[in-house]
Amino acid sequence: KSLELAAMGPGASGNSGSTATASHSALGSGVSLHAYDIAVLVVYFVFVIAVGVWSSIRASRGTVGGYFLAGRSMSWWPIGASLMSSNVGSGLFIGLAGTGAAGGLAVGGFEWNATWLLLALGWIFVPVYIAAGVVTMPQYLKKRFGGQRIQVYMSVLSLILYIFTKISTDLFSGALFIQMALGWNLYLSTAILLVVTAVYTITGGLMAVIYTDALQTVIMVGGALVLMFLGFQEVGWYPGLEQRYQQAIPNVTVPNTTCHLPRPDAFHMLRDPVNGDIPWPGLIFGLTVLATWCWCTDQVIVQRSLSAKSLSHAKGGSVLGGYLKVLPMFFIVMPGMISRALYPDEVGCVDPDVCQRICGARVGCSNIAYPRLVMGLMPVGLRGLMVAVIMAALMSSLTSIFNSSSTLFTIDVWQRFRKKATEQELMVVGRVFVVLLAVISILWIPVIQRSNSGQLFIYIQSITSYLAPPITALFLLAIFCKRVTEPGAFWGLLFGLAVGVLRMVLEFCFPAPACGEADRRPAVLKDFHYLYFALLLCGLTALVIVAVSLCTPIPEEKLARLTWWTRHQPSLELEKEAQENTAGTAAVPSGEGPAEAGGAGDPSQGLEQLGAPRRSWGQLLWGWLCGLSGTPEQALSPAEQAALEQKLSSIEEQPLWRSVCDINAVLLLAVNIFLWGYFA
C-alpha cells in the first residue's frame, strides 16, 4: 500500500481509477504551471509563429518548387538542423529514454549509426536524385523504371506508414508528456499543437518548416542539455550512474524471475549475438538496412537535402546533421537511465498490477522515464522550458511529415489522375491534404491510447523492420545496378511486403509477455530478433528483384542521370520533359479557361486585370494561404524552361567547398568511430 501511495504521488488516495487518471496522478499530481513557466511557453510560441510567418513571406509559395522544395535555395545550416529535428520527435524523446532506462546504452547505437547513413545521403544518394531532377522518391522510381504502378505503390505505402507510425507515435508520446506533467486535456492540447503546426506548414511550405525546425533544434538541444546536467549532478556524474543504475531494483518484484534486475551489460554497446536484447550483428548490419531507408530514401528526410542551393550545401547539411545525431545518446538515453536510477519503483516497475496503476501498461513503465525526470528535477521556469522542448520535438517532426506527405500526395497521386493540373491547383490540393492529415491525426489519438506498449522505441523500430527493408533493397539496386528492370522491382516489392506483413501480423497476434508470464510466442518471434529479420528480408527481396530482372531486357540509353554510374551523363530527357511541362502547364491547354490555366490568352482576363477588381478580405486570406498572387505567372519559353531544369539538376561543385565538405566528413567519422570504440 505504501508503494502504491508513493507511486501515485502526493495527494493520491491509493485507489486506482482509470488508466488516464492513474498515469496523470503518478507524475503530475500537485504540479501546476508557475507564472515563469507560462512566460517561457508564451515566448516560445511567439518565436515559432514569428519565424514561421517571416519564412512564409520570404518563400516562393505559389510554385511547386517553391512550396515543396523551398525554391532549392536553402543553406547547409538550416538543412542540418532540420534533418535533426525532423527525426528527433517527441516519440524519440519518450522512446529512446524509455529503452535506455530498460536496457542501457545499446539503443544509442541507433543514433550513432545514423551518422554513416547521413554521409551516404549527401555523397551517394542526393547527387543521383538531383541529377535525375526529381521532387519525390516515388518520382525517382518512376523515372528509373518507367510505368506508374511502382510510383503509386510507394506513395500510398509511405502515406500509410506516416499516418500510422510516425504521426501516431509522436502524438501519443507528446500528449503523454503534456497530460502527465501538466494535467492538460489530452485532446485539447493535441488539437492546439496540430493547429499551430498545420497553419505555418500550410502557408509557408518547406522553407517555413526548415527555418522553424532550425529554431526548434536550438530549443530542443538547449533544454535537453540542461536536464542532462541536472540529472548527472543528482546521481554523481557517470561513475555514480554506473553504480546506482545497477542497484535500481524496485521494492515489489515478481518471485522466481530476473526481469527486475538491470542488465549486466547495460553499459556496453556491443552485446551477445544470440542472447543480447540488441545483438551486435543486428545493431551494425540489420540496423543499417533500416537506417538506409530512413535517411536515404524516406521523403521526410531526403526532401530537406533536395532543397539545398547546391550539392555542397546538401553535403554540409548532412555533416551538421551527423554531428547533431551524436548528442541524443547523452541528452536522451543517459537521462533515461538516470531516471531509472532515481525512481526504480516507478520507471523500473515489473509487477504487472503495479505497472498498470502507475502508467496504464502491464508490460512496464519505462516510457515515463523522461517525463518523470523532468517533473522530478526541473525547477520552476525550466519546467516550462522542458514542456517547450517536448512541444518543439512534436511540432518539428509533425510539420516535416505534413509537408512531405502533402508533397507525395500532390506530385505522385493527384498528378497521376489530374495530368493537366495547374500549379495553382496543385498548391491548393497540397494545403488541403495537410488539413486532412491533421484531422486524421486527431481521430487516431484514442487508438494510440489503447495500443500503449512497454517500450515505444522498440515498437517503432520493429514495425519499420517489417516494412522498410524491401524499399532499401530496391533503392540500392536502382542506384547501383543498371540491370534491374521494372518487373523485377515491382514483384520484389510485393514479395517483400507479403513476408513483412506476415511477420507483423504474428507480432500483433502474439504480444510480448509481462514479467512472470509464460512466453507462448512462436520461435520465429521469440528467437529471431527483428534486426536479424530486417537483414534477411532485405537480402531475400534483392534476390527476387535480381532474378526477375535477369529475365527481362532493359535499354541502356534510358538510364542517363538515373544511376550512380550515369549521373554525369547529358540527358535529352530533361529538355524533352521541360518542353512538355511548358506546353502542358505554363501555356494554356486547349479547352481550358483562363481561371484554370493562369490567365494567359484570354482578352477578358486582361481587361479584368486592367480594371483592378477589388477583392474581399476572404479572397485575400484564401489567396495568401494558398500562395496565389492573383496575377498570372510569367510563362517561360521552352528554351528558358529547359535551361532552368538543367540548372536545378546540376551536381557541379566548387573545388574548395567540395574539399571542405570531404574533410569535415572524415572528421565526423573519426569522432563516431572513437565513440563506438569507447562504449563498445
The domain locations on the chain are: 2-128+153-250+302-451
Position with higher pLDDT, 129 vs 630: 129
CA angle 294, 412, 600 (to 5 degrees): 135
Average pLDDT over residues 661-676: 92
**What pLDDT score was predicted for residue 331?**
87
Average pLDDT over residues 92-113: 86
Q: How confident is the model at residue 649 (pLDDT cuts 50, 70, 90)?
A: low
Average pLDDT over residues 488-495: 92
Q: 189-193, 328-332, 386-390: which range is least confident on average?
A: 189-193
At 533-591, the pLDDT tens digits run 999 999 999 999 999 999 888 766 677 778 888 877 776 554 555 455 444 444 433 33
**What pLDDT score was predicted for residue 205?**
54
**What pLDDT score was predicted for residue 597?**
35
Q: How confident is the model at residue 361 (pLDDT cuts 50, 70, 90)?
A: low
Taking the alpha carbons at both ends of the chain, their separation in whole angstroms is 42
**What pLDDT score was predicted for residue 493?**
92
Position with higher pLDDT, 507 vs 9: 507
Whether the pLDDT of residue 494 is over 80: the answer is yes
Whether the pLDDT of residue 394 is over 90: the answer is no
Whether the pLDDT of residue 171 is over 80: the answer is no
Residues pairing with 271 in the sheet: 279
Q: How confident is the model at residue 118 (pLDDT cuts 50, 70, 90)?
A: very high
Class level of CATH domain 2-128+153-250+302-451: mainly alpha
Mean pLDDT comparison of 176-185, 381-390, 669-678, highest-scoring range: 669-678
Contact (Cβ atoms closer than 8 angstroms) between residue 59 and residue 204? yes
Q: How confident is the model at residue 56 (pLDDT cuts 50, 70, 90)?
A: low
Whether the pLDDT of residue 474 is over 70: the answer is yes
- Which residue reads 504540479 in cell numbers? 31
What CA–CA distances, in Å, run from 275 to 40, 108, 123, 279, 436? Answer: 46, 19, 36, 7, 45
Distance, CA of 229 to CA of 233 (rounded, Å): 6
Whether the pLDDT of residue 223 is over 70: the answer is yes
Give the DSSP letter string of 565-590.
TTTTS--HHHHHHHHHHIIIIISPPT
At 148-159, the pLDDT tens digits run 888 888 888 888
Reading phi first (left if > 0) and then psi (alpha if -120 to 50, else beta), residue 669 is in alpha
Burial of residue 88 (CB within 10 Å: 0-12, 13-18, 19+) is buried
Q: How confident is the model at residue 19 (pLDDT cuts 50, 70, 90)?
A: very low
Whether the pLDDT of residue 108 is over 80: the answer is yes
- Residue 482: φ, ψ to 5°: -70, -15
Q: How confident is the model at residue 102 (pLDDT cuts 50, 70, 90)?
A: confident
Mean pLDDT comparison of 493-507, 512-526, 588-602, highest-scoring range: 493-507
User: Considering the chain, what is the average pLDDT of its residues?
Assistant: 74
Residues pairing with 74 in the sheet: 308
- Which residue reads 529475365 in cell numbers? 551
Contact (Cβ atoms closer than 8 angstroms) between residue 135 and residue 306? yes
Helices (H), 360-422: 369-377, 382-408, 415-417
> Taking the mean position of all CA atoms in its chain, how far away is CA 44?
22
Distance, CA of 103 to CA of 375 (rounded, Å): 22
Whether the pLDDT of residue 646 is over 50: the answer is yes
Percent of the chain topping pLDDT 90:
12
**What pLDDT score was predicted for residue 620?**
52
Average pLDDT over residues 173-200: 68
Q: 206-220, 287-301, 625-639: which range is least confident on average?
A: 625-639
Distance, CA of 194 to CA of 226 (rounded, Å): 27
Give the DSSP letter string of 91-147.
HHHHHHHHHHHHH-GGGGHHHHHHHHHHHHIIIIIHHHHHHHT-SSHHHHHHHHH-S
Residues pairing with 308 in the sheet: 74
Whether the pLDDT of residue 199 is over 90: the answer is no
Q: 243-247, 456-460, 483-487: which range is least confident on average?
A: 456-460
Q: How confident is the model at residue 174 (pLDDT cuts 50, 70, 90)?
A: confident
Average pLDDT over residues 356-376: 77
At 413-439, the pLDDT tens digits run 787 777 777 767 777 787 788 778 777
**What pLDDT score was predicted for residue 538?**
94
The pTM score is 0.74
Contact (Cβ atoms closer than 8 angstroms) between residue 353 and residue 364? no
Q: How confident is the model at residue 351 (pLDDT cuts 50, 70, 90)?
A: confident
C-alpha cell at 663: 574533410
- Amino acid 465 reads S
- Amino acid 87 reads N
Percent of the chain topping pLDDT 70:
68
Whether the pLDDT of residue 344 is over 60: the answer is yes
Contact (Cβ atoms closer than 8 angstroms) between residue 93 and residue 328? no
**What pLDDT score was predicted for residue 544?**
95
